[in-house]
Each structure stands twice: as structure tokens, then as C-alpha cells.
């Protein structure tokens, strides 16, 4: 799908954050996951610069420049891991458009907490690639998504692609590596709350730790895979029939599997407990884990407000989220 067609001096793209409702980690090994984009976004503005061959990136947390061979961090401690995939993606877009000598200035603004499993890396990649491609001619969603998945492999080489798919195409979806994505329509509105442990994680390390566990005990892992698949299937039926109580129960079951994988964290467990005691129908970590964010499902707006307040009372961040339906937006 082509979303713009004319060359411009400045181009903008915005891509949403995501939550994984069911199936994270197991999706890396071909299982299905159910995920959704949410109403938090990264907005990227790309401009051509006269500094031929140089890509400069400035974000809220870091800035740096890359001349094709050398990376120079200007500000933001430990920002290499954040910026490197973005440089790679921007360079790749220049190469694809046969503009190897072109210079770029990229500015990134975000209201997505980063490093906690809400898909900020994927959203930054999707929006950066889309902004650069539309600056240089046109952006094609399918191509943007493929390039973002390729660049994401710098962050962790076993990416399932789920985060990039949902950030590009938006909405709630059933996704698997082999089967691609199918949009899911929830029969009733979902009242969702994010709790942030404040503990940043490294997705690549967590995915590797699960791989080690899988290699050490193939039989046990394949049992967990089959339970996760079953939970996803039941969740799809619960979404289709609007049975939020069952959905919440399945989120709790999914959390038990993530605990078995060793990717939960005591601070996440505490927030899950707070959310459940404040009336959540279900709660679990969302994304890679190891701290990061939790997601809680509430029965009503009043309940979601109460859950968010209860989490904030512990001193941690919390906010209610809506499901985004737009995905990547240009301009």
C-alpha cells in the first residue's frame, strides 16, 4: 500500500506503541500472539541536510551522528543500542532510494516510556523508515514493516516481527511468524491499564535467556508452547464473544507461563498483585518482561481509574490506554 508519492524537503511519520495481550516469547518460536497498538506514539521528522553522507539523529533521550562508518554519540549515556538500529534503518532507506551521498537530519519525539516492553524501539524504527522513505519519494507500509523487522534484528536477532507489524498496521491483531496478521475486533470495549515498574530491560537478553531454557529442556518448553497456543485460541474466542471475565482469567494464566519462563520480575509481580487487588479481571507483564511494564484488564472505566490510582500509590507510573486503530500515519 503506497501512502505518499511526492518528494518533499521535510517529511513526518508517527507510529504507535504496543501491548502484547497474549503469547509474548512463544511468538518467537512460531506460536500465535494477540497484540494491539495503543494511543502513545513516536513522531519522527526527517529533513535533507547539506552534510552529504551524514545521518544526524536527535531524540528526547539521546543524539548522535553517523557518517557511514563512524558513530559519534553527542548526548545520552548508553544510547548506542537505541540509536544504532535507527541509523542502520535510515542508511538502508537512503541506499534503497540510491541516495548514498544524501545527508539526513532526523528528529524523534516520543510519549512512549522506553525500554519497558511497550514497543518504543519498533515504533521508532517504523516511523524513522517511513519518514525517510516519504522524504525521498514514497513510503510503502509493507516495505516499511519489512525494513523495520530487518533493523530490529540489530536489537535482537530472533525478533518475531510482531512489534513492527502492529506498529505499522495498527489495531488489535492475531499474529504469528508463519501466518502473518489478522485483525481482531473485540466485541466490547477493553478497559486497559499499564503499570510501569520503571525497570528497563534488554529484550535481546531476555529472548536469549528463554532460548537457553528451551534448549535445556525441550520437552517442558514444548508443553508451555502448547499451553500458550491454547490460551491464545481461547482468548480469541473470548474477544469475539465479549467475555472479558474469561479474558482476564486467561491473562492470569498467561502470566503463570511467563513466570515459568523466568521473565517476570518481583517488581512486576508486585504491580500485578496490586492491580488484581484493586479489581483487575486479569493482569500480566506485557512484552519481554524482566521488569518493564504490566497490563491489567478492568471491567469498567471506574475500575481502570481505581487500578491506575492503586499502582500510582505504590510510587510507580500508571496510565489508562486505548487501542489505536491507525497504526503508522504519515504527514
In three-state secondary structure terms, 130 is helix
Asked whether the beta carbons of 28 and 207 are under 8 A apart, the reply is: yes
Site for ligand MEV in 103-142 (CB under 6 A): 117
* Residue 89: CB minimum distance to ligand MEV, A: 17
The answer on whether 119 is annotated among ligand-binding residues is yes
Sequence-ordered list of residues with C-beta below 8 angstroms from that of 150, at least 6 positions apart, any chain? 92
Q: What is the DSSP letter of 318?
A: E
In three-state secondary structure terms, 314 is coil
- 219-250 core/surface letters (b: 16 or more CB in 10 A; e: else): eebeebbebbbebbebbbebbeeebbebbbbb
For ligand MEV, the binding residue among 27, 57, 93, 194 (CB under 6 A) is 27
The smaller minimum CB distance to ligand MEV, of residues 45 and 128, is found at 128
d(CA 304, CA 248): 13
Catalytic residue among 163, 196, 303, 324: 163
Q: Does residue 25 interact with ligand MEV by CB under 6 A?
A: yes
Site for ligand MEV in 179-218 (CB under 6 A): 203, 207
Q: Does residue 167 interact with ligand MEV by CB under 6 A?
A: no
From the CB of residue 183, how many other CB atoms can be counted at a distance below 10 Å? 11
Q: Does residue 294 interact with ligand MEV by CB under 6 A?
A: no
Q: Report the candidate in 13, 104, 96, 27 with the shortest Cα–Cα distance to residue 58.
A: 104
Query: What is the radius of gyration, based on Cα positions, of the chain?
Result: 20
The smaller minimum CB distance to ligand MEV, of residues 147 and 159, is found at 159
Q: Does residue 168 interact with ligand MEV by CB under 6 A?
A: no
* Residue 289: CB minimum distance to ligand MEV, A: 7
The answer on whether 114 is annotated among ligand-binding residues is yes
* Interface stretch with ligand MEV, choices 37-45, 56-64, 154-162, 194-202 (CB under 6 A): 154-162
Sequence-ordered list of residues with C-beta below 8 angstroms from that of 66, at least 6 positions apart, any chain? 54, 55, 56, 57, 72, 87, 91
The smaller minimum CB distance to ligand MEV, of residues 24 and 196, is found at 24
163 an active-site residue?
yes
The smaller minimum CB distance to ligand MEV, of residues 135 and 225, is found at 225
From the CB of residue 177, how many other CB atoms can be counted at a distance below 10 Å? 17
The smaller minimum CB distance to ligand MEV, of residues 24 and 107, is found at 24
Q: Does residue 303 interact with ligand MEV by CB under 6 A?
A: no
Q: Which residues are annotated as a binding site for ATP?
A: 113-123
Residue numbers annotated as active site: 163
Binding site for ligand MEV (CB under 6 A): 24-25, 27-28, 117, 159-160, 162-163, 203, 207, 287-288
Amino acid at each position: 500500500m503506497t501512502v505518499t508519492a511526492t518528494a518533499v524537503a521535510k517529511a513526518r511519520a508517527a507510529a504507535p506503541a504496543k501491548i502484547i495481550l497474549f503469547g509474548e516469547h512463544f511468538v518467537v518460536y512460531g506460536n500465535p500472539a494477540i497484540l494491539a497498538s495503543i494511543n502513545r506514539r513516536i513522531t519522527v521528522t526527517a529533513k535533507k541536510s547539506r552534510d552529504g553522507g551524514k545521518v544526524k539523529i536527535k531524540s528526547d533521550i539521546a543524539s548522535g551522528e553517523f557518517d557511514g562508518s563512524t558513530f559519534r554519540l553527542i548526548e545520552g549515556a548508553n544510547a548506542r543500542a537505541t540509536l544504532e538500529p535507527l541509523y542502520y534503518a535510515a542508511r538502508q532507506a537512503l541506499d534503497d532510494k540510491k541516495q548514498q551521498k544524501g545527508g539526513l537530519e532526523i528528529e524523534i519525539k516520543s510519549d512512549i516510556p522506553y525500554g519497558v516492553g511497550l514497543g518504543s524501539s519498533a515504533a521508532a524504527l517504523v516511523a524513522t523508515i517511513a519518514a525517510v522513505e516519504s522524504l525521498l519519494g514514497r513510503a510503502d507500509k509493507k516495505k516499511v514493516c519489512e525494513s523495520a523487522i530487518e533493523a530490529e534484528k540489530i536489537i535482537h536477532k530472533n525478533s518475531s516481527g510482531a512489534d513492527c507489524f502492529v506498529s505499522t498496521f495498527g489495531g488489535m491483531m492475531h499474529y504469528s511468524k508463519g501466518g502473518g496478521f489478522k485483525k481482531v475486533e473485540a466485541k466490547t470495549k477493553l478497559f486497559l491499564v499499564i503499570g510501569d515498574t520503571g525497570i528497563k530491560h534488554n529484550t535481546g537478553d531476555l529472548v536469549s535467556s528463554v532460548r537457553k531454557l528451551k534448549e535445556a529442556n525441550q520437552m517442558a518448553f514444548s508443553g508451555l508452547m502448547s499451553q500458550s497456543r491454547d490460551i491464545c485460541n481461547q482468548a480469541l474466542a473470548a474477544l469475539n464473544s465479549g467475555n472479558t471475565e474469561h479474558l482476564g482469567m486467561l491473562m492470569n494464566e498467561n502470566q503463570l507461563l511467563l513466570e515459568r519462563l523466568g521473565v517476570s520480575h518481583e517488581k512486576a509481580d508486585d504491580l500485578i498483585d496490586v492491580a488484581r487487588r484493586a479489581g483487575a479481571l486479569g493482569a500480566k507483564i506485557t512484552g519481554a518482561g524482566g521488569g518493564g511494564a504490566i497490563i491489567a484488564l478492568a471491567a469498567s472505566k471506574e475500575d481502570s481509574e481505581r487500578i491506575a490510582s492503586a499502582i500510582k500509590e505504590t510510587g510507580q507510573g500508571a496510565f489508562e490506554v486505548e487501542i489505536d486503530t491507525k497504526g503508522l500515519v504519515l504527514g
